[in-house]
Amino acid sequence: MSTSITNIKDHRLLSATWLASPNFNERPKGKNGSMSVDTIVIHNISLPPDEFGGCDSDGLHYVKALFTNQLDWSAHPYFKSIEGAEVSAHLLIERDGRVTQFVPFDKRAWHAGKSSYLGRPECNDYSIGIELEGSDFQAFTDEQYIALTDIITAIYHAYPKTRRHLTGHSDIAPGRKSDPGEYFDWMRLRQMINQNSER
């Protein structure tokens, strides 16, 4: 049995490094007053685009700086184009498989933007957002697939309704978003998740 299924406590992934983002709010309550999390959205992000591991002068990874409103917009010409953005995700998986959590899973992170999944708008309301450090034009690393598999297995266990709804940003915001991109191997991920749950 994989140990990863016990890896979430109090809506936090125990194996992740915690770095609080101010960019979140409450999820809307459902009809019966309960919070509903039933979807996982996969993204890619890199700052600047297609460059990995970049850090500011304090050694803070640019993506972590963005998600915590600490990005110096003047540090790179591209950053000007996103100046003032207030965004987040629940999790970031770096190229080496390191995982950072920014928002507890029961709170609403700001990762999807204008979106719709199976006819339901506002995917941020009911989804968990996972960012892979990557781009639409490069393969993801083995370490990222391994970390993502363990994380999804843990999320499936903690939030069973998510088992039926694993999707990508490009699927919930078609025409507007292209991530995680054609290099993201959905087949490989699904096979790894299945193998993990059989263990």
Question: Hey, which residues are catalytic here?
Answer: 131
**Contact between 108 and Zn ion (CB under 5 A)?**
no
Nearest alpha-carbon partner for 90 in 137, 141, 124: 124
Separation of alpha carbons 88 and 151, rounded Å: 18
Shortest Å distance, C-beta 169 to Zn ion: 3
52, HSE (Cβ side, Cα atoms, 13 Å): 17
Residue 178 CB burial class (10 angstroms; 0-12, 13-18, ≥19): middle
Q: How far is the CB of 177 from Zn ion (least distance, A)?
A: 5
Count the residues of the shown chain that bind Zn ion, applying the rule CB under 5 A: 3
94 versus 179: smaller Cβ distance to Zn ion: 179
Collapsing DSSP to helix, strand or coil, 123 comes out as helix
Closest CB to Zn ion among 43 and 90?
Answer: 43
Nearer to Zn ion, 13 or 123 (CB): 123
- Burial code (b: 16+ CB inside 10 Å, e: under 16) for 134-154 equals bbbeeebbeebbebbbbbbbb
**Interaction between residue 133 and Zn ion (CB under 5 A):** no
Q: Which of 179, 189, 192, 193 binds Zn ion (CB under 5 A)?
A: 179
Region from 42-50, 73-81, 115-123, 139-147 binding Zn ion, contact rule CB under 5 A? 42-50
Number of H helices, E strands in the chain: 5, 12
Q: With respect to Zn ion, which residue has the nearer C-beta, 150 or 179?
A: 179
Would you count residue 90 as binding Zn ion (CB under 5 A)? no
Indicate whether 43 belongs to the interface with Zn ion (CB under 5 A).
yes
Please give the residue ranges that form the binding site for Zn ion (CB under 5 A). Answer: 43, 169, 179
